[in-house]
Structure 1
Amino acid sequence: MSGGARGLLITYTGRVNGPAYIEIFKDALTDFIENAFGPGNPNWVYMQDNAPPHTSKFAMKWLKDKNINVMKWPPSSPDLNPIENLWDNIDKKLRYLKPTNVTQLEQMIHDLWNKVSCQECQSLVDSIPRRIRQCIKARGNSFSKC
């Protein structure tokens, strides 16, 4: 997602390592970046957490080779990526819908993802400075995500 757009939702089952992580999204990510920001536009940054598959040598080399600007996060830092708030919103809706099996859950997640508006994405991205201020005020400790 970006401020004003959401990309393709990709469902994956299985274990994820660096090569699997890249394989999952390689075509979708490069297409999304080009569509959301325009070809050759450097005014964006890719946010991911410090999960081992994301920071593996394989993944970091692939991202660098594709000129994907990756935001650097300190280890054990709060995850301020707005996609986390978006997933929280989807999770709250799923609790109301109460899927009864994995197939139904997957379909509901895709349906909810497809209903995410550009305005919701923009609002979440716009909330980053406020959430950073909250994090600084809390000295990196837990705080209520809003």
Structure 2
Amino acid sequence: MEWAPYVLGRQQLTLMEDGEPIHTAQVSQEWREHNGLVKLQWPPHSPNMNPIGNLWKKIKFQVSTFYQPQTMDELQAAITAAWNDIPSQHLDQLFKTMPKQMQEIID
């Protein structure tokens, strides 16, 4: 993962994942371990505070609609292209909603 050291200028990344089977599967755990990623301990049934969680649906839709990946390399390229198509303003807006979401959970 040659990009990992450059994300937010950090040498280590921490993932925030829910209890979905795809995240708890042994293959996922082994991949994280192999790539030096740390999983944030997250209580069960806690609110989803992932600000970009809804983007995955959009990316999945774009990949399945506009690409027909046949290999892992093609799939990775399609996901990267779909991600790059998301305007940075959209990402900024998602992060700006975080304080309100946090306050709603507290209230």
The answer on whether the counterparts of 2:63 and 2:82 sit within 8 Å (CA) in structure 1 is no
- Offset at residue 113 of structure 1 (A): 4.3
Runs of 4+ in 1 over 4 A off after TM superposition: 102-105, 110-113
Question: What does residue 28 of structure 2 align with?
Answer: 59
Question: What does residue 36 of structure 1 align with?
Answer: 7
The answer on whether the counterparts of 2:17 and 2:23 sit within 8 Å (CA) in structure 1 is yes
Query: 3-state DSSP class of the match of 1:37?
Result: helix
Answer 1 or 2: which has greater helix percent.
Answer: 2
Question: What does residue 69 of structure 1 align with?
Answer: 38
Amino acid at match of 2:102: I
Q: Count residues in correspondence.
A: 95
Question: What does residue 71 of structure 2 align with?
Answer: none
Question: What does residue 89 of structure 2 align with?
Answer: 119
Question: What does residue 76 of structure 2 align with?
Answer: none
Using the alignment, how far apart are the partners of 2:90 and 2:98 within structure 1?
13
Using the alignment, how far apart are the partners of 1:104 and 1:87 within structure 2?
10
Question: What is the TM-score of this pair, normalised by structure 2?
Answer: 0.57
Query: 3-state DSSP class of the match of 1:75?
Result: coil
- Offset at residue 135 of structure 1 (A): 1.8
Residue correspondence of structure 1 range 118-137 to structure 2 within 5 A: 118-137=88-107
For structure 1, which runs of at least 5 residues remain unmatched after alignment? 1-29, 92-101, 138-146
Question: What is the TM-score of this pair, normalised by structure 1?
Answer: 0.46
Out of 60, 66, 77, the position equivalent to 1:107 is: 66
Q: Sort the Cα spacing of 1:32 and 1:133 in 2 relative to 1 into closer, same or farther, 3 A.
A: farther
The one of the two structures with greater contact order (alpha-carbon pairs below 8 A, sep at least 6) is 1
